Amino acid sequence: MSLNKNKHLADVLDSHKMSHVNDLLDKYKKKRDEVKDALEEKFKDEIVTRAINSGSYAKHDAVNIKFDLDICQPFKRNSFETLEDMADAVFNYFNDEYEDDDLVKYKTRKQRVSTGITFVIDGDEIQMDIVPGRELVEDDYKETNRLNLYVRPKLLEDASSTQTNIQKHINLISGKDLERSVIRLLKIWKVNKSKDRVKSFLIELITIRAFDNCSEIPTDQWGKLKMVMEYIRDNIKTIRLEDPANSNNIVSDTMTDSEKNNLSYDMEFMLDHIEENADNLKIYFSVNDEFDTNDDDKKAAALDVARSGVIQKPWCNC
């Protein structure tokens, strides 16, 4: 029997829900609040407001195999002489001063626009990125949510700055439940296949563009996923994806031409492979076995059969 693609994708999405890790998530959120409190206390005269949530969890498109609880700390326009001073002040605080028994000190790191810190909580490691941003104009942030970020140098690239608007990023997929389900599936593929060079923000933008450019959205989950995969295959090499918070930030430029070619090929290969045999869908979009409710049902059914003394054929994964 051929795999029911829509049922399988529904199972994949269900098994990757954040609600399955609520106990762990509660610990992480408690730690995030402690970091926010520390920032508020340390920089009480420099900040515009308490740090805000950002990243995939804030956008409600996180998956439970990999997620970060990132935050952004807005600073006043005149809080530091330069953006670099602002970024270094946050890094130095967590590297030199901040005390927490769960913090892994040697893993505190300078990243392009953030300070990365690592906690180990009950044996689980959590990464947290703290993005410091300075308002563009004095007293402007509370009205516009616009911030300037310091971008650290990388390889042959000099240090620079970039504008962002975290609230715009959150609003971008607010209410877009159909797009969000496809985004989550592509993130699952990205994590499972270690496609680190494919940025999650790019996945969000190109998925939304695919939906916007389709005159008749498929009604089934596989149809929607296939539509987006075909759009990526056909357009990733030439498409221009701008950050909605900053038209000068071209998100599609975060990938080289070679990486775009590879991504187009990945989509083409997957589509052809799944067309050849529907069961191949499981290779690219796999259920999180830890939270596979169907597996529990199979085990329960098998136990009932065993108790009844009836001989049963092996379970099929179709």
147-179: per-residue pLDDT in tens?
A: 999 999 988 889 999 999 998 998 888 889 999
What tens digit of pLDDT does each residue of 57-66 get? Answer: 788 888 888 7
Helix 200-212 vs helix 221-235: crossing angle, to nearest 10: 100
**CA pair distance 249, 162, nearest whole angstrom:** 8
User: Is residue 6 within 8 Å of 220, Cβ to Cβ?
Assistant: yes
DSSP 281: H
Query: What mean pLDDT, rounded, does the chain reach?
Result: 89
What tens digit of pLDDT does each residue of 109-125 get? Answer: 999 999 999 999 888 88
**Structure token digits, residue 160:** 């620079």
End-to-end CA distance of the chain: 6
pTM: 0.85
**DSSP helix/strand/coil, 302:** helix
- What domains does the chain contain, in order, with CATH numbers? 5-13+174-284 (1.10.1410.40), 18-165 (3.30.460.90)
- Residue 82, CA atoms < 13 Å, CB-side half-sphere: 9
